[in-house]
Structure 1
């Protein structure tokens, strides 16, 4: 592997880092104040719109799209260090139109949508004018096994009728969220459990779509995005809204979640790096027992461990991105599973150490650590829990071993 960034990527890194220093970090408190004082926390903060205009002016827009005339034309390997920079502030990726779940939804429509579906939804999403949500997880079943999804998608003449309940539908609380990608069962009796599901496009304003509540995680509501519970009560949409065709939902999910998983890992590395940077600043400023925190052996050991763990996760993520670029997401599934196992836990651990070094302040919203921790903890479940990825990777390793032995 070439460990040097190309001139193109290095230039984008420098421009993005400068943008963070000049526009994002100085506005962290303004964002918090807006969310705490606004009458409608689900409306896009005016601050975001101003920052987006500046990001577009600087060419820092849709950087995530690897193969599209609408993006920067970056590979996964080239995008990784940029997503890491964005991950230093949990909401900053939106400013560059690189925020989940919109990134994954745009890629899904781009890869699997019909010409009409692309024409209807992609322009607004690519321009950052509308938002989207992905509705897969359900409160009544163990959604870590995606074949358990029970939301019904039933054909009725020229329409599909959708009935069921979803939650953790990231982004659906947003006032300008206009389109939902819903996964449900269209053929529950199919003997192939992986061909029972379909994905379908559901405009949020369709009659029968009911947002029941905003779900909090560790006390955070993730405004302005939200993680709502949604009921679909006899929701009717045209048959043309199906993605790829009936029974293809699991296939789409696998294609969609690969890039989504690595994007989360990239951002988590950025969050962990910021936590370490804040910890380094803190331990030089505070004294206990007659010396600086940075002079205590236990503190130095924790700093060293954090540095090593971030570097390990970073290199593994870059290797996974490189394999995706070279051989495709399916071939790279072993490394994608590995980084999804490693990166969220690494970030959670590193951020927790930084919180400890900050004492009681580390638990407050005076610092970004608590919310970064919340994001890392979410990601140990989002796009598949740790245990599922470990199970899948272990199974894959055994099969590869068996294959090698059978050929010997």
Structure 2
């Protein structure tokens, strides 16, 4: 398969050229489907989806609100649409007032609005058969209105669970729902293990994250230098529970040959402060021989860490929908993560890993020790992780569900 780069008023899309079975939005042969995504930024959890469309022979474009600090453009280069000058003026004052709040920058995710003329021009130039916009926000309201104006089918993507609590029926939520797409896709099935006493919208669909199988268990080497290498990936934020994980590894390191690598993003002063606290703790406890910190790695560097590791642990709490453990699974790693994670169901308990009780250090320790004690179990679970990625998280299922949604919309 080879890819032709297309230039359309700027660098923003690619076309796969080996698609034998081309489909329109109603599934007819002989038509290249044109798919346009609009989201705050281009996240790594979208790479496998974009690659899937390209390999299928379709045309895909991506418009982002802004450019993230660490992004991989090997598959597609988004156009950054940005925000209107009026909103940027408002945001400057908001950030100045709330400069001590770590999440103040998220103000733009809910209330940011686009440069409407520019956005309208780009959408019309692409002329999508389907547009997918991220989150119920002011930005998505404008996207939805433009799609209705030009009669483009539009679907909402967010990380609210398929099976959730009672929908809020106050006036403001009703207005927002009426102004954003009624059809919705989500990679989150539900929070917790049960759907009893939860409800599902008839126009909501579960489309899990996708992942390429990267390293088969038959080709993977485990236990380099005789150690069990544990990997954790995530921004340097308090909710990632790095201290709890380090304390567990410190205790288990007295009985088992274990090493821990933490890789994360440091992109603002809050991340930097937390990272320095962790670094100081490691030095004060003389743990620098068993715990290593890494910062702002490229995707290839992250992939090398997966190859060198034996076990992946995500100790975080309040995790909307992580994709890193699915990535670890694609490298034949068993995974352990907390129950307060929207994508915890990607792990099959006792098959390819374990799920520990939220913020429970002792339960996390028990789950990790189960694997440190039995290296054969690491090999078995790693093999199952790879199998699950191959069977459940490939583009064909995503594509089939998208066609089903579009047929219902027609």
- State the TM-score, normalized to the length of structure 1: 0.27
Query: Which has the larger share of strand?
Result: 2
**Which structure: greater helix fraction?**
1
